[in-house]
Structure 1
Amino acid sequence: MKKLFLLALLCSSYSTLAVDVIVNPANNSALDENEIKQIFIGKAKSFSDGSKALPITQVDGSSVTDEFNEKVLNKSSSQLKAYWSKLVFTGKGTPPKEAADDAEVIKLVASNPNLIGFVSSGAADGSVKVVKSF
């Protein structure tokens, strides 16, 4: 009985939230998981077509941000904060700008072909293009 309870508890703590990475429809770059990660950790500054890549995240602590950080960046929120703190302190990087929620990310990405962001799966509308789902 204890084993069954522990298994149920473990399964319930596992998140099933899906995340969509979105770009402006004018962006025709093909993006794989590694390229997306490189953009969001500041190691890549452009898309495959050479155009500037500007990542935008959602506020720290939101479920979609936590899910993106873990699934795509393979880092917890605290690890990511430490990573960016080090880069900012040494003058080697600036963390992505933050948006309040899915709607704000969609609005910003739809209005700027250089932006790349992430939203909860299914939140994207026709004003943006989903390039990868996690």
Structure 2
Amino acid sequence: MKHLIKTGIAAAALLLTLPAMAEVVVVANPKAAESSMTKDQVAQFFLGRSSAMSPIDQPEGTPVRAEFYKKVTDKDASQVKSLWSKLVFTGKATMPKEAADSAAVKKMVASDPKAIGYIEKSAVDATVKVIYTP
């Protein structure tokens, strides 16, 4: 019985140390012509394949960034970074702007009709519109 209790406590402690994955949504300026996008359309902007919209990234190493790229581009952070490095080096693209957190992404998107970003769903308000939910 003691072993069961110890195992249960250890499992609970492990679960508490895991980062909570918030639901990520892709947002645009409310004035943007797009009201919704497909996964592939969103990926085009964040992989440097289209410059019709300006992507805004979350900081490197954050769980929201990792979750976004995994769900939308099917790539991990190092693969995306490598792709962007090649595009920048060859002069085909410039790195996406990076914001400090979801609030900063939201502020940047709200002030630029051509901006596209991703934030935690809980951070959505009237200053942005959700155009894709992975």
Cα pair 2:28 2:128 within 8 Å, conserved: yes
Deviation readout 1:23-78 (Å, 9 max, x if unpaired):
011113142111100011111122xxxxxx11101111111001011110111111
2:40 equivalent to 1:27:
no
Rounded Cα–Cα distance in structure 1 between residues aligned with 2:20 and 2:41: 24
Amino-acid identity (%): 43
2-structure distance, mates of 1:88, 1:28: 28
Tell which structure's C-alpha radius of gyration is larger.
2
The amino acid that maps onto 2:22 is: L
Q: Unaligned 5+ residue runs, structure 1?
A: 1-7, 47-52
Pairing 1:1-134 to 2, within 5 Å after superposition:
16-29=21-34, 30-46=36-52, 53-134=53-134
Structure 2: gaps spanning 5 or more residues = 1-10
TM-score (norm 1): 0.80
Q: Distance in 2 between matches of 1:122 and 1:111?
A: 20
Distance 2:72 2:78 in 1: 15
TM-score, normalising length from structure 2?
Answer: 0.80
Question: How many residues end up aligned between the 2 structures?
Answer: 118
In structure 2, relative to structure 1, the CA distance for the partners of 1:70 and 1:119 (3 Å cut) is same
> For the residues of structure 1 that align with 2:129 and 2:42, how far apart are their CA atoms?
14
Runs of 4+ in 1 over 3 A off after TM superposition: 12-17
Instruction: Report the Cα distance in structure 1 between the residues aligned to 2:49 and 2:117, rounded to whole angstroms.
Output: 16
Greater helix percent: which structure?
Answer: 2
